[in-house]
A and B are shown apart, each in its own frame.
Chain A
Amino acid sequence: MSSTNLDQASTHLERRLAVMTLWGLLGSFGMAFLLSGFGTPDWGLGLLGYAFLITAFVAHVLVNHFFDSGFQAGEVALGLVMVGFLALVFVANVLFGGGSSPTKLGLGLAGFLIMGLAIVLYMIIRYGTRGTWNVVHSFWYRKAEY
């Protein structure tokens, strides 16, 4: 490997390390608080869990900015899979879990709302309002073409 390639590989590895470290810390504690919030159930613990996860997302954005990169395809895919899985678990619990308490339902819906807001806010900050519309619009039309 040439030295330029090695430097690029090192930088890429360092970025990946920063991302995995912050999600390893904030993500694990966020999920733990979230589980406690749903398990107890308790609004405070659940919202604390969401706060950790949002902080991890914001930190990830900052790392991207520092390393002058964006979200990698693998990271987006993993994020979508995780969110999809959690949503599935939540919906299954509501439908087949023998009655969900108002707190659990509220926490779950709050989670969807917070996640959606976070993504929209990120896109607006990154692309601007018109840019966000263009991205969504072009994605939608590309999908329709297929």
Chain B
Amino acid sequence: MTERLTDIGPPHYEQFLPPVIKANYGRWDHHEILAPGVMVHVAESGDKLYTVRAASPRLVSVPKLRQFCDLADKYCDGYFRFTSRNNVEFLTAKEENVAPLKKDLEALGHPVGGTGNAISNIVHTQGWVHCHSAATDASGVVKAVMDDLVEEFTNMRLPGKLRIALACCLNMCGAVHCSDISILGIHRHPPKIDRERMSKICEIPNLIAACPTAAIRPTMIDGKQGVEVLEERCMYCANCYTVCPAMPLADAGGDGVSIWVGGKVSNARTQPSFSKLAIPYLPNNPPRWPEVVSAVRNLVEVWAANARPYERMGEWIDRIGWPRFFELTGIEFKKEHIDDFSHAGLTFKRSTHLRF
């Protein structure tokens, strides 16, 4: 019987670093992007490290991981890593391994790219594969959008970086709220109250306190404590559902997808900023979500045709103004675009700086 280990923490990263990294750790001089998805990092010592970056669906099976291991053994002495945007990267000091590695990855169905002025992988959440609060699927929408835009992953012909992210509900796991294009699952119906379960599994005061708009009120039904929802106050945030499973919001007809634009996390040039609403609602239309795919393509194309070099989506919109953005993209500006929550007033235009 082995001893039960706890609180040992993660394995130390050093054991996973290739020898060329260990020898040059913290002493890298510069890097170059040799081709989409292929980089060389040159150390002060003159040593070179080649990286080949390939797309992954994030949801990866054990057989696929073993194939990655085989490639790492064949070309990289067993070393590989993943990126913050769910790409897989193979690391080697041998330049001659780059071309065959790239070929093998592509043969396995993993496009090589995602570097420089391109669309990198779409950061996304679990969706219908695993999440209880999803208002849309995640992996399926990402697959449909990237099937359509894969050439912007394997080329570097865009004006600047384009970061797309998807969250399957307003909880927004991942940096969805700060992306050039955010695809966001939304509910549009108030919670359906399961009175039978509520009295067993929910703390009513907690539930009432959880509502940011005070739309949930206590009530007595058949002598049992329960709640009612003021529908006109509900903004479908699902915070109540998070604290009380008897308040589900998912609804086949009401749920769908919204599209947000112009956010970024990098400090380059302009400050990090939130994405803003572009399209309030598109229907859930599996398996290929054609409305979402064409909306994203339109945004990418209009931005690519009009932005200056290094101008991210939000910087471009700042330069031309929102009215022109709606005009160029052909998106209709509606009441839903005007904020009416906590900081709404900060988003009103309070100058005559108008472009006609």
Whether chains A and B associate is no
